[in-house]
Chain A
Amino acid sequence: MIRVALPQHLRTLAKVGNEVTVEVKGAVTQRSVLDALEAAYPMLRGTIRDHVTQERRPFLRFFACEEDLSHESPDAPLPEAVATGTEPLLIIGAIAGG
C-alpha cells in the first residue's frame, strides 16, 4: 500500500485523516499514485492536478524521503521507501502568509 499525506484542506474535503493509503498496480509513480488517489477520493479531482492538463497545481509540492520531487517527471519511479509504504508521499500546500 502506498501512503499519501494530504494537506489539511484536502483532508477536510475527502473527510480523511492525516494519511490515506492507496493501492497501485504496476510502477509506483506520481501519476499512478495520484490516479489511484483520485479514483478512491473523486472529490479530490482537479484539486491536486489540473482537470484538463493533469499538471500539478502551481502552489502544491510533492515531497518524499526529504526530497522535493515536484519537478520530477510524473512517470518517474517514486523512491523505493514510498513504493514499499515505509515513507509517505507528502502533498504540501505552498506556504503563504498574510
Chain B
Amino acid sequence: MSSVRVLVGTRKGAFILSSDGKRQKWDVSGPHFAGWEIYHMKGSAVDPNRIYASQTSGWFGQIIQRSDDGGKTWHQPGTPAGEEMGPGGMPKGESNKFVYDTSPETGKPLTTHQWYDGTQHKWEFKRVWHLEPSPSDADTVYAGIEDAAIFRSTNGGKDWKELSGLRGHGTGPKWQPGAGGMCLHTIILDRKDPKRMYIAISAAGAFRTDDGGNTWKPINKGLYSKYIPNPTAEIGHCVHHVAMHPARPGLLYMQKHWDVMRSDDAGDNWHEVSGNLPTDFGFVIDVHAHEPETIYVVPIKSDSEHYPPDGKLRVYRSRTGGNEWEPLTKGLPQSDCYVNVLRDAMAVDSLDTCGIYFGTTGGQVYASADAGDTWAPIVRDLPAVLSVEVQTLS
C-alpha cells in the first residue's frame, strides 16, 4: 500500500510526518537536529531512503546531513570513518565546504554583486537554501545557496563544486539581496531533458540552462516590478518561487514578490495570471500532481504585512492554469490567523487523489488528501516552518 512521508524543516529542527495512503493518521518523528535551522530537506526519487538536509546556524555555519534509511539515522557525508580519506588518513569532512569558483577556467573574476547601498560587495557564502536531488542518480544533488550560486555534488554530498557559469553570466554585478538575503531558492530539473534546469534568485530573477549548467540565460521577459528603476529590466526581479509540472516541462508558474505569472515556453515569455486573487503577493506556488493546469497559491496581504488578508488562511486553486481562482477554506482557520507561508513550504504528493501540504510560520502543517477541497492540521505547534517536501512511497 502506498504511503507518504512529509519532510518539514523548521527554525529549530526537522520533523518527519508519516502516514499511509489515506493520509488521516500521522506519526510525527523529531525534532531531528534539535535547535538548528533546517532550511530544506528533500528525498531522492531514485532512492526514497536517501534524504538530504540543509542544517544551518548563525553560530556554527552550514552542515549537510544525509540519511540513507528514510530519515531514521543521519550523518554528514564524508565524515564516518572509512568513507573517504583525506591526506592524514582521516575522513575528509568537506560536505559543508562551499567555495565559490575562482579558477582560471571560468575566465572571469567572479567577485562582486550589488549591495544594499548600491556599492559592489564580494560574494560570501552564508547557507544552503534548497537541495534538489537528481531524478536519475541518488548521489547527484544540487544546492542553491546564499549568496546566490548553484553547486553540485556527484558523490552523495561529500564534496561540492559550483556551476560557475551562472554567476559568470555577466549580470552578477547587478544582482542584489532582498530582505531575506541574496538567495538561490528554487532549482527545477527537467526530467525529460537532463541538460535543462531552471533556478530563481531573490533578487535577480529566473534563469535557465539548456546545456547542463555550463551557460545560463535570464528568463524574465514579461515580468513587471515597480520596485526596481526599470520595471521590465532583464535582471532585478524578486522571484519568490517557480513551479513546474514534470509532464509539461515547458509550462512554468511563478509567484513573484507581487504577481502570479505563467510561461508556456520554458520561461522565454511570462504573462500575469493573478486574475481574481484577493492579493497577488505571496511566496509559495505549486502544481497538482496529475493536472498541469491546476495550481495553488497562498495569498499574503502585502510585502510589509506578511500574513493572510482579513486574518483568513486561504489556499487559492486555479483549475485553468491561472486567472480564475477559488478559495479553499474548509478546515483552515478563517479568523484571527496571521501566519505566513514561506516559499519552499508547500508540496504535493502523487497519490491518485493528489495530496497538498503546506507549513506556516506559526508551526502548523496542514494537509489535504483531496486536492485542496478539505484541510486538516497534521501538527499545530512546531517551530516556524521553513520548508515542506513530500515523498510518495509505494
Interface centre among B35, B59, B79, B88 (most CB of A within 10 A): B59
With A9-B35, A38-B93, A52-B99 in contact, do A47 and B61 touch (Cβ < 8 Å)? yes
CB-based contact B91/A42 at 8 Å: yes
CB-based contact B97/A43 at 8 Å: no
CB-based contact B94/A9 at 8 Å: no
CB-based contact A43/B76 at 8 Å: yes
With A9-B35, A9-B36 in contact, do A46 and B88 touch (Cβ < 8 Å)? no
Tell yes or no: A65 within 8 A of B by CB: no
Q: Tell me the bound Cα distance from A62 to B57 in angstroms.
A: 18
Within 8 A of A (CB), among B75-106: 76, 78-79, 86, 88, 90-94, 96-97, 99
Q: Min CB distance, B29 to chain A, in Å? A: 17
Contact for A42 among B34, B57, B90, B99, CB less than 8 A: B90
Residues of B within 8 A of A12 (CB): 34
Q: Tell me the bound Cα distance from A19 to B58 in angstroms.
A: 23
Residues of A within 8 A of B79 (CB): 42-43
Contact for A45 among B88, B96, B99, CB less than 8 A: B96
Tell yes or no: B318 within 8 A of A by CB: no
Interface centre among A9, A48, A50, A57 (most CB of B within 10 A): A9
CB-based contact A59/B88 at 8 Å: no
Tell yes or no: B63 within 8 A of A by CB: yes
Tell yes or no: A13 within 8 A of B by CB: yes
- Type the 1/0 row for B49-62, where 1 means its CB is closer than 8 Å to any CB of A: 00000000111111
Q: Tell me the bound Cα distance from A38 to B94 in angstroms.
A: 11
Q: Tell me the bound Cα distance from A34 to B76 in angstroms.
A: 19
Q: Min CB distance, B210 to chain A, in Å? A: 32
Q: Min CB distance, B55 to chain A, in Å? A: 9
Residues of A within 8 A of B93 (CB): 38, 42-46
Q: Tell me the bound Cα distance from A48 to B253 in angstroms.
A: 41
Q: Tell me the bound Cα distance from A8 to B59 in angstroms.
A: 12
Within 8 A of A (CB), among B311-357: none
Contact for A46 among B58, B59, B86, B97, CB less than 8 A: B97
- Type the 1/0 row for A32-61, where 1 means its CB is closer than 8 Å to any CB of B: 000000111011111110111000010110
CB-based contact B88/A94 at 8 Å: no
CB-based contact B78/A42 at 8 Å: yes
CB-based contact A51/B97 at 8 Å: yes
- Type the 1/0 row for A56-98, where 1 means its CB is closer than 8 Å to any CB of B: 0101100000000000000000000000000000000110100
CB-based contact B99/A59 at 8 Å: no
Q: Tell me the bound Cα distance from A8 to B79 in angstroms.
A: 19
CB-based contact B76/A57 at 8 Å: no
Residues of B within 8 A of A24 (CB): none
Q: Min CB distance, A36 to chain B, in Å? A: 10
CB-based contact A47/B94 at 8 Å: no
With A39-B90, A43-B76 in contact, do A13 and B96 touch (Cβ < 8 Å)? no
Tell yes or no: A10 within 8 A of B by CB: yes
Residues of A within 8 A of B96 (CB): 45-47, 51
Residues of A within 8 A of B91 (CB): 42
Q: Tell me the bound Cα distance from A43 to B88 in angstroms.
A: 15
- Which A-chain residue is minimally distant from B92 (CB atoms)? A42
Residues of A within 8 A of B58 (CB): 59, 96
Residues of A within 8 A of B61 (CB): 46-47, 50, 57
Residues of A within 8 A of B59 (CB): 7, 9, 57, 59-60, 93-94
The list of the 10 closest CB pairs from A to B, nearest first, reads A42-B93, A47-B60, A43-B79, A59-B59, A45-B93, A51-B97, A42-B91, A46-B96, A42-B79, A43-B76
24 contacts between A and B (CB under 8 A): A13-B60, A13-B63, A39-B88, A42-B78, A42-B79, A42-B92, A42-B93, A43-B63, A43-B79, A45-B94, A45-B97, A46-B62, A46-B97, A47-B60, A47-B61, A47-B63, A47-B96, A51-B94, A52-B97, A52-B99, A57-B59, A60-B59, A93-B59, A94-B59
* Additional 5 contacts, C-beta under 8 A, given A47-B60, A57-B59: A9-B59, A38-B93, A39-B90, A42-B93, A46-B96
